[in-house]
Structure formats: C-alpha cells, structure tokens
Structure 1
Amino acid sequence: MKKNLFIFLAKVNSLLLPSFTKKGLDMAYAKKWQLAIIGWRYFITKNSL
C-alpha cells in the first residue's frame, strides 16, 4: 500500500514539477524553493524504488 502511494506520487511529480536537470540548473546557484523541489523529488523517487 505504502509503495503504491509513492509510485503514484512519483508519476504526479514527473507531470507537475519541473525537471531542473533538463534545464541544466547549477546546484550552487539554486534558490531555496528549487532545492526544496529537488529534495522532495528525491525523497519520493527513493521511496518508490
């Protein structure tokens, strides 16, 4: 049940949230909200695998 939730959230993330790696974002110059999105996407992806 828990894993299915994270798989669903990973699909929603890929549809709604921007991908900063495709845009070539430099982590040293990222804003706080960009780092928060990166952290959120990492957390969801890690738990869905």
Structure 2
Amino acid sequence: MKKHFFKFIAKLNKALLPSFTKQKLDITKASKFQLAIIGWKAFITMNSLD
C-alpha cells in the first residue's frame, strides 16, 4: 500500500514539478526553493523504489 502511494506521488511530481536536469541547473547556484524541490523528489523516488 505504501509503495503504491509513493509511486502515485512520483508520477504527480513528474507531471507537475520542473525538471532541473533538463534546465541544466548548477546545484551550487540553486535557490533554497529549488533545493527543497530536489530533496522532495529524491525522497519520493527513494521510497517508491523500496
């Protein structure tokens, strides 16, 4: 059940949140908001893969 929830959230993230790799964002110059989005996407991805 938990894994299905995280997979659903991961699909929403992909559709709604920006992809910083496509924008070629330099991580050292990212704003706090961009870093928060990167962290959120990483958290969701790690939990959906378990």
TM-score (norm 1): 0.98
- For 2:10, the equivalent position in structure 1 comes to 10
Runs of 5+ unmatched residues, structure 1: none
Q: Which amino acid aligns with 2:16?
A: L
Q: Partner of 2:37 in structure 1?
A: 37
Normalised TM-score (structure 2): 0.96
Q: Please report the RMSD computed on the Cα atoms of aligned residues, expressed in angstroms.
A: 0.3
Contiguous gaps of at least 5 residues in structure 2: none
- Structure with the larger helix share: 1
